[in-house]
């Protein structure tokens, strides 16, 4: 009989689908003082499984990731314990300082889960380019996933 842990784990396909459905990712960097620095961020995931956020160049998380690229990422949902679902990702962070990549990411983040026309994308590119010069892209390459979906237990613990 499988362990209870195995019963609630998400498959690779379930992880990808779940991350595509969610908008907010909690990213945790390691602060200079030793305390974890958690921040909620909007994100998108590429076909290879890397996750991306954009933030201002001078933000604390950028300084933290430049010093130590280890990151913990969390996406969770469920308004009661029996429906709690989460994906915890241990990842390596990379800070990318490229205007075009930042603009592209901002469009993908802001249109996640929506169908948009080329005209809408062009309009959004114009809007995001005004702040993109002050921003960087955070790329997270997953190393390990820890997942759980309590709804798989059908209310039986």
Mean pLDDT of 19-27: 95
Residues 79-131: pLDDT tens digits?
888 889 999 999 999 999 999 999 999 989 988 888 878 888 788 788 888 88
DSSP per-residue string spanning 28-73 = EEE-TTS-EEEEEEE-EE-TTS-EEEEEETTSHHHHHHHH--EEEE
Which listed CATH number (2.30.110.10, 3.40.50.1860, 2.70.170.10, 3.40.50.2300) goes with 4-152? 2.30.110.10
Cα-trace Rg, the chain: 17
Per-residue confidence (pLDDT) for residue 87, from 0 to 100:
97
- For residue 97, give both structure tokens: 């300082």
Q: What is the domain partition of the chain in residue ranges?
A: 4-152
Tens of pLDDT along 50-78?
A: 999 999 999 999 999 999 999 999 999 98
Q: Is the pLDDT of residue 1 over 60?
A: no
pTM score of the predicted model = 0.91
Check: CB of residue 27 under 8 Å from CB of residue 61: yes
CB 131, CB 99: distance < 8 Å: no
What φ, ψ does residue 15 adopt, rounded to 5°?
-60, -50
């Amino acid at each position: 009989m499988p362990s209870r842990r195995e019963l609630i784990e998400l498959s690779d396909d379930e992880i990808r689908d779940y991350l595509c459905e969610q908008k907010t990712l909690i990213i945790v960097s390691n602060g200079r003082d030793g305390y974890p620095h958690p921040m909620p961020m909007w994100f998108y995931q590429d076909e290879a499984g890397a996750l991306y956020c954009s933030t201002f160049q001078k933000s604390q998380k950028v300084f933290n990731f430049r010093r130590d690229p280890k990151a913990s990422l969390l996406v969770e949902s469920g308004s009661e314990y029996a429906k709690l679902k989460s994906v915890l990702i241990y990842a390596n962070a990379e800070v990318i300082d490229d205007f075009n990549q930042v603009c592209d990411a901002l469009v993908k983040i802001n249109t996640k889960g929506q169908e948009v026309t080329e005209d809408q994308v062009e309009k959004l590119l114009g809007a995001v380019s005004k702040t993109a010069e002050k921003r960087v892209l955070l790329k997270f390459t997953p190393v390990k996933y820890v997942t759980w979906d309590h709804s798989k237990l059908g209310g039986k613990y």
